[in-house]
Structure 1
Amino acid sequence: MSRLGVGAAEVETVLDRPETLPGQVVTGTTTISGGKVDQEVEKVLVALEATVEVERDDSTWYEQVTFGTQQVGGGFTIHPGQQISGRFELPVPWQTPITDVGGWHLHGMKIGVRTKLSISGAVDPGDLDPVGVHPLPVQEAVLAALGDLGFHFRSADVEKGRLHGSDLPFYQEIELKPAGEYARRISELEVTFLVDGAGMDVVLEADRRGGLLSSGRDELSRFRLAHHDTDRHALAGLLHQQLEHLGRRRGWF
């Protein structure tokens, strides 16, 4: 009997809009096309998927991690030549990594919708349909304010693991290069956003020139913003205060 090989049923997903924001939904249509024989479709699953960096000992590699999985169909027989379509709405978790800022794609960031078809106990992972995740207004405002302070984007990655307040088994780090007064003492600033329905925690970690400030990951500064805290000038002042406070604690300034 054919399962998921040559002549098996296939699934195709078409997204209504391949762009979204954290906290919103991705909508689309799945279409299952029958193969050469009748097959029992047990489950049709859709999920978000991220490329995640894993570090262990002295090794680094990447994994595809699915999250927010939802069953959108199943429990029917698909016949040869038959097509069955269904709609879906897939919630985008608040802490989904962002992939695009200000019209620019963040290099290395890859988020998509994975459609899985379960037939007779075998699972076809299907194709990955890319999704662009744009920042919330408060996230965009924080990044713009850091730009006003002279920080420039260097890179971004998604690391496996959890911080206090994490909802997902990974978190995003946006790495910025300092300029001006900060460049004399900081070689790199890493920013992590931990968002929920009420607001957002901003986690800052800095590397001091000449060496790492702490072993492993050390939350050097963390503060809370509401979703409506989008005043760029006010945020620049707050971030400057946070960095000054951090510098006084660590003896930078």
Structure 2
Amino acid sequence: MVFKRLLGSMGVGGPAVDTVLDLAGATPGGSLSGEVRLTGGRAEFDIEHITLELVARVEAETDHGEHDGVVVFERFTVGGGFRLHEGEHRTVPFAVTLPWETPITELYGQPLGIVLGVRTEIGVAGAKDKGDLDALTVRPLPVQEAVLEALGQLGFGFKSADLEYGRIAGTGQQLPFYQEIELTPAPRYAHQASEIEVTFLANPAGMEVVVEADKRGGLFSGGHDALARYTVSHGQSSGTDWNAEVDSWIQRLLSSHTGHGAHGSYGHDPYGHGHGGGQAHKDDHGHHGGHHRSGPGMGTVVAAGAAGLAVGVVGGMVAAEVVDEVGDFFEGDEDEGDDES
């Protein structure tokens, strides 16, 4: 998809910029490629730098309630240091690597309601111009898809997905926010939990899966949240009975009698916690501390539940007015990121 923008800092007659992303999409930790197309204006301009920013719309809970804002979570300088002549056409190809924790935006082609974008910044004559956004589509890694498919097979339903500003303590989280995929419980667990939330924290070796349950209260106890972390390797995406594995996670989580469930290590644990250690808890403004499958999977569940979830997304494009709404909570973060460039 192409966005055309006349550099506002240059006014009428300035160069125009088109950013084109490859249509294949990307995966966490994978390559994002495309090209920046420049068209010279009515004079010569020195292009000092061409920078791509990865931006995400996130939610944050503060003392004043919940707010939406925009976070720049990665920056890449992909060109610059040349003179663009009057009317000249120049193409700058790029290939950058996405952070491993980049949120996924779709499953089996169905949008999850996550808003990500690539913003192109052009530095000309000491000024910066932040152009329009290109919508960023991120597909799940095989292990992520396997876990979500198993949850669908087990009867869990897709409810929503969002990005939460904050960190999950006890994990190797790198980005300043994390993705939560909210699920309705399978019928067999409906009496024990009202909601299940899943967070993926991918890394080069594998992935941490943080599972949280909103547990219902009993006759002599109130409801509470239980949270546990499990680790898997990328190589186990096939040849694993994920239905049995994921079901065991849920059973252990719901059988725990404390606010934190068990930590399990299935395969290589890239952080060396081993079995029984490194329990996770959330520390984010306002939050509490290859086998054959039959029946509908999570792809069918998402297709049925994702309609209307893509807030701020129109026709597959990130709405500029949504991404431009940077609340006071995030302005400091964006300014810091700009100073580093």
Give the aligned partner of residue 45 of structure 1.
51
The 2-side partners of 1:147 and 1:49 are apart by 29
Specify whether residues 140 and 115 from structure 1 end up closer, same or farther in structure 2 by C-alpha distance, changes over 3 A only.
same
Q: Does 1:230 align with 2:237?
A: yes
The 1-side partners of 2:238 and 2:188 are apart by 23
User: Gaps (5+ residues) in structure 1?
Assistant: none
Specify whether residues 5 and 54 from structure 1 end up closer, same or farther in structure 2 by C-alpha distance, changes over 3 A only.
farther
TM-score, normalised relative to structure 2 = 0.67
Specify whether residues 106 and 250 from structure 1 end up closer, same or farther in structure 2 by C-alpha distance, changes over 3 A only.
same
The 2-side partners of 1:199 and 1:139 are apart by 10
Give the aligned partner of residue 207 of structure 2.
200
Q: Does 1:117 align with 2:122?
A: yes
The 2-side partners of 1:54 and 1:7 are apart by 40
Give the aligned partner of residue 34 of structure 2.
28
The 2-side partners of 1:121 and 1:18 are apart by 35
Q: Which has the higher strand share?
A: 1
Which aligned segments of 4 or more residues in structure 1 are displaced greater than 6 angstroms?
A: none
Q: Does 1:59 align with 2:70?
A: no
**Which of 50, 70, 89 is 1:83 aligned to?**
89
Does the aligned pair in 2 maintain the 1:12–1:31 contact within 8 Å? yes
Give the aligned partner of residue 249 of structure 2.
242
Give the aligned partner of residue 138 of structure 1.
143
Worse overlay, 193-202 or 25-34: 25-34
Give the aligned partner of residue 277 of structure 2.
none
Give the aligned partner of residue 19 of structure 2.
13
Does the aligned pair in 2 maintain the 1:188–1:206 contact within 8 Å? yes
Give the aligned partner of residue 224 of structure 2.
213
1:23 counterpart SS class:
coil
Q: Which amino acid aligns with 2:143?
A: V
Shift of 1:179: 2.4
Q: Which amino acid aligns with 1:183?
A: A
1:56-97 Cα shifts (integer Å, max 9, x gaps):
124222222223311111122223212221110021111110
The 2-side partners of 1:120 and 1:13 are apart by 21
2:188 counterpart SS class:
helix
TM-score, normalised relative to structure 1 = 0.89
Does the aligned pair in 1 maintain the 2:213–2:254 contact within 8 Å? no
Q: Does 1:153 align with 2:158?
A: yes
Give the aligned partner of residue 189 of structure 1.
196
User: Gaps (5+ residues) in structure 2?
Assistant: 1-7, 259-341
Give the aligned partner of residue 132 of structure 2.
127
Q: CA RMSD in A?
A: 2.1
Q: Which amino acid aligns with 1:213?
A: H
